[in-house]
Amino acid sequence: MSSQSFNLAGREADSAIRPVSNPPEILAGRRVGRIQQAIYAAPELAQRLKTGQAFASADWIGASAVMGYRLLDDWMTKQGLDACCRYRTDSGLAMYAAIRDGSGAGVLPTYLGDPDPALVRIGDPIPALASDLWLLIHPDMSGTARIRAVTDVLANGLRERLE
């Protein structure tokens, strides 16, 4: 398990879970669900944002360039929030922890933010940040029993979590 993006075509990994709209045609895989994302904050900051404090006057937690989350970067820039980032992180879990701890508002997947009682969602999911989640493997591995067993378990677990 790693948050690093390994090259499946180059056989650096047997399988990968990737949030993409169109997976590379060279890979075999299945769509396991759709990831929705929304703005979250700790309760005190969420209350201020819900009662009229301008989003741009709040501290924000964003993704660093190393994280490679261009879609979020573009959305934050369009919203005028890129200059408000108190922290930028190269890890989705670090972003989650910083938002949860009250360091700022930020965007998280709804499967992570909604069930957490320490977070408050601010508004509806953001359509521009939605993406499909794919479980991908190298085509040469698709008939391998151990790969099929692992991908079946992963696909079922991911579907349950995303529902």
CATH number of the CATH domain containing 104: 3.40.190
Q: Is residue 83 part of a domain?
A: yes
Tokens of 154: 């992963």
- Provide the 3-class DSSP secondary structure of residue 29: strand
Torsion angle, alpha carbons of 133, 158, 40, 70, to 10? -20
Q: Are residues 134 and 110 in the same domain?
A: no
pLDDT tens, N- to C-terminus, the chain (163 residues): 345 565 555 555 567 788 888 888 888 888 999 999 999 999 999 998 887 667 888 899 998 877 777 888 899 889 888 888 888 888 889 999 999 999 999 999 999 999 999 999 999 999 999 999 988 888 787 778 888 888 888 888 888 877 7
Judge contact between 102 and 44, C-beta under 8 A: yes
Q: Is residue 3 part of a domain?
A: no
Residue among 3, 33, 25, 26 at smallest CA distance from 16: 3
pLDDT at position 2 is 40
Residue among 141, 134, 160 at smallest CA distance from 5: 134
Q: Are residues 108 and 70 in the same domain?
A: yes
Judge contact between 9 and 139, C-beta under 8 A: no
Instruction: Please count the structural domains in the chain.
Output: 2
Q: Is residue 7 part of a domain?
A: no
Q: Are residues 66 and 115 in the same domain?
A: yes
Predicted TM-score (pTM) of the model is: 0.81
Helices (H), 35-144: 43-50, 70-78, 92-100, 110-113
Q: Are residues 113 and 65 in the same domain?
A: yes
Q: Are residues 46 and 121 in the same domain?
A: yes
Q: Is residue 5 part of a domain?
A: no
Tell me the residue range of the domain where 158 lies. 15-35+130-162
Q: What is the distance of C-alpha 1 from the center of its chain?
A: 16
pLDDT at position 14 is 62
